[in-house]
Amino acid sequence: MVLVNENFLNLQNSYLFSEIARKTREFIALHPEVTVIKLGIGDATRPLPLSVIQAFHHGVDELADQKTFHGYGPEQGYAFLRDLIVENEYRARGIDIDPDEIFISDGSKCDTGNILDIFGKNIVAISDPSYPVYVDTNVMAGNAGIATDNGQYADIVYLPCNQSNNFCPAIPNFHVDLIYLCSPNNPTGAILNKVEMKNWVDYALREKAIILFDAAYERFIVEDDIPHSIFEIPGALKVAIEFRSFSKTAGFTGTRCAFTVVPKSLNAYDSKQNVIPIHPLWNRRHCTKFNGVSYLVQKAAAAIYTDIGKNEVENIIKYYQKNAEIIRKGLKQAGLEFFGGINSPYIWVKAPQGQSSWELFDLFLEKLNIVGTPGSGFGPNGEGFFRLTAFGSIENTQEAMKRIQNYNFGLEK
C-alpha cells in the first residue's frame, strides 16, 4: 500500500492565513452591512507601476506574433533580468554576485520552502515568531520532530524574539546547521543592523552553518547603515542564501516573481564530511522541478529597473511608508504599545490588556471591523501580539486608525 509522508501528519492547525480568511469570510457573511478593513495579510493594494504595465502589454504583443513568440525559457530565468538584478541590487552596493548565482522564481514563499529539498537532516534554528512557512516546511521535511504542547516542535531550535531582546534573535551558544533570518522582519518589523548580521555570519562561518536570509522587505529600509543584503557582510557569500521578491517591492503579490541568490562559494557537507558545493545542487533542483517564470512576468519585472520604473517603485513604497506612519501615529494616540513600522511595512502591536493574540483578533474583527494577524500564528513568542500592515489604502488606514482611537481599550490615553 502506498505510504504518505507521515511528517505531514505532525503539522498543527491549518495555514495561518487560510484560517484568518475563513474567520473574516464568516464574519462578513453574518454582517454584510459592515465595512471590514483588511490590514492583515501583507498583500499589495497599489496598482502596478505604469512602466510595468507597459512592459506587460509589450510582452503580450510579442507572444501574439510568431516571430517574437517565447516558449520555454531558461529555468533559472532570462539573462536580461538576472543581469539587471545583479547590476541594481548587488553591484550597486559593492557586492560581487554573478548572474549565474541569481535564480528567478515565482515567489519567495516557494523558494524558502523548496530550498529544503537540497538539504539533509539538520539542526534548524528559526526565529520565533516567524513567517509560518519556515516551520511548516521543516515539519514536512522531517526536521521538526513531534509537536509539543505549546505548538512548537521538539527538534527545532527556536530563537525567541521578544521585547527583552528588542525582537532580535540572540546567537545560540551551541551548534545549529541551518538558520532562518528575516530582516526587515516579518512579523515584528524589527531589523538586524550590521553588527548583528556580522555576528550571525561569523557564527555560521565558525559552525559551518548556512543562513537562509529572507530579505523580501528590503525595499522598506529607510535608515542608514542597515544592510539591504546579507552579502554586504564580509564572509556572507560563504554561508548565506538570500531570498528576494518583487511582491512587496513593486506590487507583484498577484503577479508572481522573486529571486534567490545562491553563491557559488557556498558549501555544505555530506555525511563523510566531504565538501559539497550548494550551487550545482540548487541549480539541478531548480531545473528539474521548475520550468521558469512566465516570460511576460520576467519582462514586466525588468521594467522595474528602468529609470521611470525605479521612480514609480519608490513612489509605491513611499505610499506604504506613509501608511506605516499613519498607523504608528494612530496607535500612539490610542495609547497602544507597538514596535516596527519604520524600516518595515509591519507594525507589531502589543495586546493592551494581556489578551491573547486570537482574542485581540476577534476584538479587532468584531468591535473595530479591522482584520489583523494574530501574533501567536507566527509562533509562541508572538502570543499577545497582533500584526498590522501598511499595505492598505491610505483612506482605509486612516479610517482604521479613527476606529482604533475611538475605541475604549480601557487604557489611559
Report the relative pairing of strands 178-182 and 210-214 from DSSP bridges.
parallel
Q: Does a cis peptide bond (omega within 30 degrees of 0) precede residue 169?
A: no
The residue behind cell 562559494 is 265
Nearer to its own copies, 222 or 276 (CB): 276
Q: Which of 264, 251, 268 lies closest to 312, judged by CA?
A: 251
Taking the C-alpha atoms of residue 413 and residue 405, their distance in angstroms, rounded to an integer, is 10
Q: For its own copies, which is the closer residue by CB, 277 or 380?
A: 277
Distance CA 182, CA 206 (A): 21
- Residues 6+ away with beta carbon under 8 Å from 406: none
Closer by beta carbon to its own copies, 224 or else 270: 270
In the complex, least distance from residue 163 CB atom to its own copies, rounded to whole angstroms: 29
Min separation Cβ 94 and its own copies, Å:
27
Query: φ and ψ at 297, to 5 degrees?
Result: -65, -35
In this complex, which beta carbon is closest to its own copies, that of residue 8 or of residue 80? 8
In 10 A of CB 359, how many CB atoms?
A: 16
Q: Which is nearer to its own copies, 18 or 265 (CB)?
A: 18
Q: Give dist(CA 155, CA 286) in Å, integer.
A: 28
User: CB-wise, 53 or 162, nearer to its own copies?
Assistant: 53
Residue closer to its own copies (CB basis): 47 or 234: 47
In whole angstroms, how close is the CB of 91 to its own copies at the nearest point? Answer: 26
To its own copies, the closest distance from the beta carbon of 64 in angstroms equals: 4
CB of 4 to its own copies, least distance (A): 5
Longest CA–CA span in the chain (Å) reads 69
What is the DSSP annotation of 193-262? -HHHHHHHHHHHHHHT-EEEEE-TTGGG--STT--SSGGGSTTGGGTEEEEEESHHHHSGGGT--EEEE-
Q: Helical H runs in 262-393?
A: 278-289, 295-302, 307-333, 357-363
To its own copies, the closest distance from the beta carbon of 197 in angstroms equals 19
Closest distance between its own copies and the C-beta of residue 9, in Å? 7
Which CB atom, from 253 or from 356, has the smaller least distance to its own copies?
A: 253
3-state secondary structure (DSSP) of residue 184: coil
- Shortest approach of its own copies to residue 11 CB, angstroms? 6
